[in-house]
Every structure is written in structure tokens, then in C-alpha cells.
Amino acid sequence: MSKGAPLVHRTVLLREAVEALAIKADGIYVDATFGRGGHSREILARLGPQGRLIALDRDPAAIAAGSALKDERFTLQHAAFSGIAATLDGLAVGQVDGVLLDIGVSSPQLDEAARGFSFRFDAPLDMRMDTSRGETAAEWLARASQQEIERVVRDYGEERFAHAIAKAVVAARAEHGIATTGQFAALVEKAVRTREPGQHPATRSFQALRIHVNQELEELSLALPQCVARLAPGGRLVVISFHSLEDRIVKRFMREQTQPPHLPARLPVRAAELPRPALRLVGKPVFPGVDETTANPRARSAVMRVAEKAAGSER
């Protein structure tokens, strides 16, 4: 495997995302995926003295990096974004004026060999975003059934050779176990019969394992309704996703929230009395431009969607 040079961390859609929040100088905002603080620093630059920014991240390394950001308007909490409501409750914060979610794995996570996210390095197969808790990818592979492994690789990696990969995992662990990224990548490489041009055969399987270990899609599904519930009227929800499974959840959720709540058929309610939708969509999906994707190839798959909390909404 080629180790390659680590990419410098670049915040994706930095200007576009922060502008989409429509920052008010005295507003309260949540950066629910702090990472290395690119979005947070830009939000703080646009806030006035009375503004406030609350940031969350479940990665202890991100929390450690964020300790260098000294600003009285800024609060950083070690929490997954699915815990946004509990975090705000703990800080005695009710409604906020904007929430930003920049979903997925970060460059520092990919580029630090010991985290086990990448097949570019031979390292312990960990893959946890929160290294302080939970089961590693190696531990899950050691106990999961062949059917479970096949489902995860197929559904989360959209890998057509999922059956062969799962069968190979079960056979390999019976002989010597699968403890490192190198072992797993080599196993997948043998099981995948045809390769996609320009893509390592293990790419989809690594994505699938990471999504499963971190429960990324479940976290997103839990977080989105909480975000909407805590937005003040006119507040913005900005979501950046990096693959189709995430974006599908975001797109469907926002579309559903732009419709009035479903009422029983034949209920005698006038149109004017119908509950109002929770959200209205703001603009079209935004994608990184050529300059950004050239400078940062990892931005190529990013898509940003924006919605605003409707006035008078009951959700």
C-alpha cells in the first residue's frame, strides 16, 4: 500500500457555509462538528461582542485542538451531534439562530495512522471517532456474523462483492484474526474481483466499516429533528454531507419538514388552520467549485443543503 503524503486539513465550503447561516451579530450559533475549528473561527469572526458560539465534537483529539481557541463567546463540548439538545439543555440554552453540521470523517482522522481509518497506513483497525468509548472495527469484525458483515458492507459501502468479502473475513479470523488496516485491506483486495478505475478495492469496505462503527447515519437521523426543534424562527440549518447515504437522509428530512404535518383524512380543518411547515428550503444544493476541489480533492463529493425555520411553525 502506498502511504502517500497526508493532506493539509482544509475546511470544506468554509465561506459558503458560514454565509448560509446568515450570522446575526448578537445571535447564538451551534457548530455541531467542530473538527479543527475552521467553521467556528469564521463564525466567531462575524459575531459581535454579545454573540455566542457553542461547538460540539465527539473526537477527543478535536476537543484537545479546540482548547487553543480562547474566546469568551465560545464554548466547546465533548459530545456527538446527536446530543445537541442535551448539550444545549446543560448550558441552559433554549433556541439558537443557526446550526451547522459538517458530516463525515475529517482529514486529521484519515491522516493519523493510529486512528485506523485509512488503508494508506498499516495500523490498528480502530475507526472510532470517539476513542474514549465504544467498540473498534477490529472488535466488531471479530464477533459479527457473516450475514451482519455482508449487510454492513453492502448497505453502507454499496459494495457489490459484499458476500465474498464477508465470507473472506469469517475465514480469515478463524485462522489468524484481523487486527490491522493492512490485513483487512489485503483481504478485501483478494475478494474484490474487478476494480473501479482510480479507486482502491477496499475503499467501499473501509467506508462501510467506519459508518457502522460510528453509527453515522443513525446519529444524523437523531440529530436533524433536534436541530429543527431548537432553531428560533428564521434560524438556519446548514448541512454539508460527503456521500449519497448521508445526503439522502438530509434531502428527505428537509423535504418532509417543508410540508405541513400529516393530519388524519377527512379531518374538518380549513386550509388557513393547517399547521405550518417547520422549514423552508433556502436556495439550491451547493457544491464546491473547481478551485476548491483542485486544492482539496476530498471536497469533491461535498454537497451543502440549507433550510430556514419557518415563523409560526409548531415543530
Residue positions in the annotated binding site for S-adenosyl-L-methionine? Answer: 37-39, 57, 81, 102, 109
Contacts of 287 (CB under 8 A, 6+ apart): 302, 303, 304
What does the buried/exposed string (b/e) look like for 71-93 if buried means 16 or more CB atoms within 10 Å of the residue's CB? eebbebbbbbbbbbeebbeeeee
Binding-site residues from annotation? 37-39, 57, 81, 102, 109
Please report the DSSP string for 21-75 in residue order.
TT--TT-EEEES--TTSHHHHHHHHH--TT-EEEEEES-HHHHHHHTT---TTEE
